[in-house]
Structure 1
Amino acid sequence: MSIPLWSLLLGFLLIIMVMAGTLLSRLLLSSAMVYLCVGYSLGPGGLGVITFDPIRHADGLERAAEVAVLISLFNVGLKMGAVPLYDRRWMLPLRLALTSMTVTVGLITAIGVWGLGLSVGAAVLLGGILAPTDPVLASGVQTESEKHPDRLRFSLSGEGGLNDGTAFPFVMLGLGLLGLHDLGAGGWRWWLVDLLWATAGGLLIGAVMGALIGRLVVRLRTRHHLAVGLDEFLSLGLMAMAYGVAQLCLASAFLAVFAAGLALQRVREQPQPGTASLSPESGVKGHAYRELATHSHHASATMANAVLGFNEQLEKLAELAMVLLVGALLPSVVTWPALWWFIALLFIVLRSLAVAAGTLGESMPMQQRAMICWFGIRGIGSIFYLMFAIRQGVSTPLAEQLIALTLMTVAVSIVVHGVSVLPMMKWYERHES
């Protein structure tokens, strides 16, 4: 298809989504469900406009998914950064991202070996691919940038923000067991580099870079009236730098970008002596951007809000692009009976068991626990790890199995979670109020 026709199609889709956004919410449809259907109709199963092969084009698909996940992780970090790190709210997302993640990988590994006939290495790899929940497609349950957010939204956002990074060691372990990655004698390299350093190093690199760059920009704006504006470049630049440094240092780039967003949001104001906050009673409404951006009492908040606003729009574009690709790739899936019971088992049983293990001893209402069990949304992070594994050289038969399991899991998640998110969240909010 020619570039003008592509431009026409894309423009038409974007305008339709703007005009039909309210109608979709009334029909209990998510935008991702529409993108999925459009992508399928444009793929080999329909018009044949998008014809990607998940094995031959794994490199390009991996890069596209990686960019989408990075954008969303930075966005989640910005939203969660308003909550102090010593706040007890952080305990639940940490337990979900670490304990529940590990339990999920273990359960999928067991099912993969005993139920799907996979080798141990392939089953561990499948667990690493499918265990992380998704920040890109979880916009309906994402938290807001505030100091006292809803616990459910905060926990699901934190889980999605952290476990895309904490899944990395399990993916590398699976590849190592398949002979495609060096685990070191006795597994020392996996323990020290792929697990401990990748996790801790990624968080450290992102936190340091986000804090340093944020403080530098605020100081330049408040003391010298420099570096004002271009917050979009600040957002993209910080994500790119955190990603690049983490990759060069063999740390988790996903955790680095998440931590960078978290640290940027937490940059404190640098009030100058003898100055006062603008409109302390009515807030900062009515003041121009430049006045707020260079005011020592408001520069940090103005910077974080501008970056967050840009990144939220960027995240929507990334969601559009990736879900279209997922829909277009679905015709390449070869299904078999075990595929369907595995997906049902993953969403209903394995997720519930993993959440129960991760929240053991945690006091919370039953409806809150049930919501966390249900909204284990799978999405773009799984697509990234799938393409990463294919690019590392897994055998073609195994690649085809992983493609079918991953793409169908993501597609089913988009549909069932997309249909249920609005009514369930409305029910939850009514119950909480």
Structure 2
Amino acid sequence: MSWAPKGLSRLPLSLAMICVALGWIIFGTGVLSFDPDPRTYDTLTERLTELVVIVSLMGAGLKLDRPLSLKAWAPTWRLLAIAMPLTIVAVALMGMLGLGLSLAMALLLGAAMAPTDPVLASDVQTGPPGTGDENEVRFGLTSEAGLNDALAFPFVNLAILTAAGGVTALSGFSSSALLKWLAIDVVWKLAAGAAMGVVVGWAMGWLIFRSPKHGLSRHADGLVAVGATFIAYAATELVHGYGFVAVFVCALTIRTRERQHDFHEEMHDFAEQIERLLMMLVLVLFGGARANGLLEALTWRDMLIGLGMVLVVRPLAGLLSLIGSPLPRRDRVALSWFGIRGLGSVYYLAYALNHADFGVSERLWAIVGFIILVSIVVHGVSAAPVMRLIERMGGRAA
């Protein structure tokens, strides 16, 4: 975990690919008899992926040097407001019409596949705070991954509502049920998450940089980042908001308190180390689950449509969202291509299946597992050469 990311930086490989292959070999050859099937350990799968996602969100927020604004974050808003809903709708329709899934399962598949992954996207994200490694592509992918994990949650909750009510068509929802979903799952929980992120981030920023005797930055270490992560997440859960958005907003708010301080890099580095360790654990287990039959329920149609979701739906939705953007074409293509799917999708699938009865879920697990595997390989192989090409063509930040 220490040297592999540096050694792989110029190769068409990623740390995620190595971890999955390692798990595949260890569990596939019988070295370990334990079967890490997420369908068996559904609650553990939900909690473990939840943990790695929130730690990665703190790291993603801390590494962004660019202040939050409508203009500077314009590509991010486009990807979130246009590309993400288009992806949800397209994947849900493919699930219903192409795979024959129920409405609830199709909505869940669309919601789970919508967010890009902040955990597996480290090769295409910005560098540590203050390093200047923040061109438009890296910034857009990092900021999008930081926010769309939370924005997928309302649609996951809509899928749960659909499954719990036995609704088979969108017209089956009553207006009161939809208004309640819109008021609580969309407006309140997103607003509460953002507000709690600002409050906790402001308080933590004061403790770190402004409290008496120059704050905790003189006396503490990077572990403060993990403490801030858990405080923001737990406080938001207590008021029934989305903890994912709170953690990311908390990190952005901490940066605003003292934007150029060296302690940001120390916090980021510690959070990134914890994230990589957790990522390795989850991906080795994922490789083991793959070796032990996670994808057995997969059909040829599932695989073809899964490839379409990765190779066609996200790139096309991304390109459509960036029509009229002042970004050069190379940047728009790269932003659209790297719609990396990963541990966030596993979390949402496990969360939904633990909160409602969607019926037999083996095929859904197989489809999501296949898409994640394809994303790890395809995006892992293309990340290093594409980013080098972008930076050679003038995409590196001044």
Q: What is the TM-score normalised by the length of structure 2?
A: 0.90
In structure 2, which of residues 46, 70, 88 is the aligned counterpart of residue 62 of structure 1? 46
1:416 equivalent in structure 2: 378
Aligned residues: 384
In structure 1, which of residues 189, 193, 215 is the aligned counterpart of residue 180 of structure 2? 189
List alignment gaps of at least 5 residues for structure 2. Answer: 168-172
User: Structure 2: how far apart are the matches of 1:148 and 1:266?
Assistant: 19
**Which one-letter code corresponds to 1:407 in the other structure?**
G
Q: Cα gap change, 1:25/1:236 in structure 2, threshold over 3 Å: closer, same or farther?
A: closer
* Alpha-carbon contact 2:307-2:371 (below 8 Å) kept: no
User: Structure 2: how far apart are the matches of 1:43 and 1:164?
Assistant: 30
* Alpha-carbon contact 1:44-1:51 (below 8 Å) kept: no
Q: Cα gap change, 1:168/1:195 in structure 2, threshold over 3 Å: closer, same or farther?
A: same
User: Structure 2: how far apart are the matches of 1:239 and 1:168?
Assistant: 19
Over the aligned positions, Cα root-mean-square deviation in angstroms equals 2.3
**Which one-letter code corresponds to 1:420 in the other structure?**
S
For the pair 1:428 / 2:390, whether they are aligned, the reply is yes
In structure 2, which of residues 340, 347, 360 is the aligned counterpart of residue 384 of structure 1? 347
1:310 equivalent in structure 2: 270
Give per-residue Cα distances to partners, 1:266-287, cap 9 Å, x unaligned.
1138xxxxxxxxxxxxxxxxxx
Report SS of the residue matched to 1:179.
helix
User: Structure 2: how far apart are the matches of 1:23 and 1:234?
Assistant: 29
Matches within 5 A, 1:271-420: 301-330=261-290, 331-334=293-296, 335-397=298-360, 399-420=361-382
User: Structure 2: how far apart are the matches of 1:375 and 1:387?
Assistant: 24
Deviation at 1:89, TM superposition (A): 2.4
1:136 equivalent in structure 2: 119
1:210 equivalent in structure 2: 201
* Alpha-carbon contact 1:246-1:256 (below 8 Å) kept: yes
* Alpha-carbon contact 1:61-1:387 (below 8 Å) kept: yes
Q: Cα gap change, 1:221/1:358 in structure 2, threshold over 3 Å: closer, same or farther?
A: farther
* Alpha-carbon contact 1:42-1:50 (below 8 Å) kept: no
Deviation at 1:171, TM superposition (A): 0.6
2:21 equivalent in structure 1: 37
**Which one-letter code corresponds to 2:117 in the other structure?**
D
For the pair 1:179 / 2:164, whether they are aligned, the reply is yes
* Alpha-carbon contact 2:58-2:229 (below 8 Å) kept: yes
Q: Cα gap change, 1:72/1:422 in structure 2, threshold over 3 Å: closer, same or farther?
A: same
Deviation at 1:186, TM superposition (A): 3.4
User: Structure 2: how far apart are the matches of 1:265 and 1:359?
Assistant: 28
* Alpha-carbon contact 2:307-2:374 (below 8 Å) kept: no
Q: What is the TM-score normalised by the length of structure 1?
A: 0.83
Report SS of the residue matched to 1:202.
helix
User: Structure 2: how far apart are the matches of 1:86 and 1:393?
Assistant: 38
Q: Cα gap change, 1:136/1:180 in structure 2, threshold over 3 Å: closer, same or farther?
A: farther
In structure 1, which of residues 259, 273, 276 is the aligned counterpart of residue 249 of structure 2? 259
Q: Cα gap change, 1:333/1:215 in structure 2, threshold over 3 Å: closer, same or farther?
A: same
1:198 equivalent in structure 2: 189
User: Structure 2: how far apart are the matches of 1:99 and 1:301?
Assistant: 35
Deviation at 1:233, TM superposition (A): 3.5
Give per-residue Cα distances to partners, 1:84-141, cap 9 Å, x unaligned.
2236221111221232111100001111111010122211111001111101000111
* Alpha-carbon contact 2:319-2:333 (below 8 Å) kept: no
Identity %: 33
1:77 equivalent in structure 2: 61
Report SS of the residue matched to 2:73.
helix
List alignment gaps of at least 5 residues for structure 1. Answer: 1-13, 270-299
Question: Which structure has the larger Rg over C-alpha atoms?
Answer: 1
Give per-residue Cα distances to partners, 1:147-171, cap 9 Å, x unaligned.
7831111001111111100000011
User: Structure 2: how far apart are the matches of 1:74 and 1:319?
Assistant: 15
